Structure 1
Amino acid sequence: MKTIATLLLAATFAAGASAQKTQEKKQKTNVPDKVTAAFKSDFPKAQKAEWEAEKNDFEVGFKLDSKEYSAVYDASGKRKETEVEIPASELPKAAIAYLKDKKVKEAARITDASGKTTYEAEVSGKDFLFDEKGNFIKSVSE
């Protein structure tokens, strides 16, 4: 019984420390409460949320269902886009063909507020952007 009580106490402490750490990360970037409330509403099961200011917006990186996500919100709490990391093999066929013989370090599916999907592939320090069908849009150096 002592062991169970000790485990419960440790779990409670760990949960409190985790919440405090998230709060500290939020305070460092001055994320408005309405932005964090919108995020919690959109992704109630998100874990390990870390915030950063991005121009006039706020970006949060988090884990959900064992996947890496990020979401960008404006100061009013409106979600502008969501990005989820995907295996390079899940890029559209046209994008895979375009990147033939290139090593993709990371790939992501990006969905904007209107539901439009684009894809991103990182290759040798450059981000290659593709439309929903995998047609090349542009590359951007990091």
Structure 2
Amino acid sequence: MKNSIFAFLALLFSSFAIAQSVSEKDVPNIVKSTFLLSYPDQANVKWEKEKGNYEANFTIGKTQHAMLLDSSGNILETEEEISVKKLPAKALAYIQKNYKNKKITEAAKITDAHGKVTFEAQVTSIDLIFDKQGTYIKSIAD
């Protein structure tokens, strides 16, 4: 029983170490400034710290967005929630074949600092990553 409780607590605390909410006052000014240059009208931003980087989560209209920045204010990637229908056809076919009877719960378009586009589809508790053409790249467990 003690081992079960210890394992649960270790898992709980390790999940907080992955992404942790931070107050806007704890986000470096250079990070906030870079974000505001891209999205000057965003006032309701939720910040998280993940592996030394800062993620700004915000909504434009009804669409969820995120921007990942390093502590020097460099944009590492942006993410935009998309409709499942906007995933590349090849990605949808891969999911249908390999995850039969599983529902895609979220989909996103990710653009890195160099303009490289990838797509993410969340199926059960796994994020599936695909390139721009829909070719499977990797899985990331949530």
- Alpha-carbon displacement from aligned partner over 1:23-74 (angstroms, at most 9, x marks no partner): x8312xx210011011000111334201111111100100113210011001
Structure 1 residue runs without a partner (length 5+): 1-23
User: Is 1:130 matched with 2:130?
Assistant: yes
State the partner residue of 1:67.
63
1:118 aligns with 2:118: yes
1:93 match: 89
Q: Specify the code of the residue in structure 2 equivalent to 1:103.
A: K
Out of 79, 82, 86, which is 1:83 matched to? 79
2:105 is matched with 105
CA deviations over 1:85-113 (Å, ceiling 9, x no partner) = 00111000100111114310000000000
Residue 19 of structure 2 is matched in structure 1 by none
Aligned length: 117
Structure 1 contact 47–64 (Cα < 8 Å) conserved: no
Give secondary structure in 1 for the equivalent of 2:54: strand
Percent identical pairs in the alignment equals: 39
- Asked if structure 2 preserves the Cα contact closer than 8 Å seen for 1:51 and 1:59, the reply is yes
Runs of 4+ in 1 over 4 A off after TM superposition: none
- The root-mean-square deviation of aligned C-alpha atoms, in Å, is 1.3
| Secondary structure at 2:44 match in 1 | strand
CA distance in 2, matches of 1:103, 1:88: 10
Structure 1 residue 137, shift from structure 2 partner: 0.6
Q: 2: CA distance between counterparts of 1:46 and 1:95?
A: 32
Which consecutive unaligned segments of at least 5 residues does structure 2 have?
Answer: 1-21
Q: Which moved more, 1:78-87 or 1:59-68?
A: 59-68
Output the amino acid matched with 1:62.
F
Q: Could you tell me which residue of structure 1 aligns to residue 24 of structure 2?
A: 26
TM-score (norm 1): 0.78
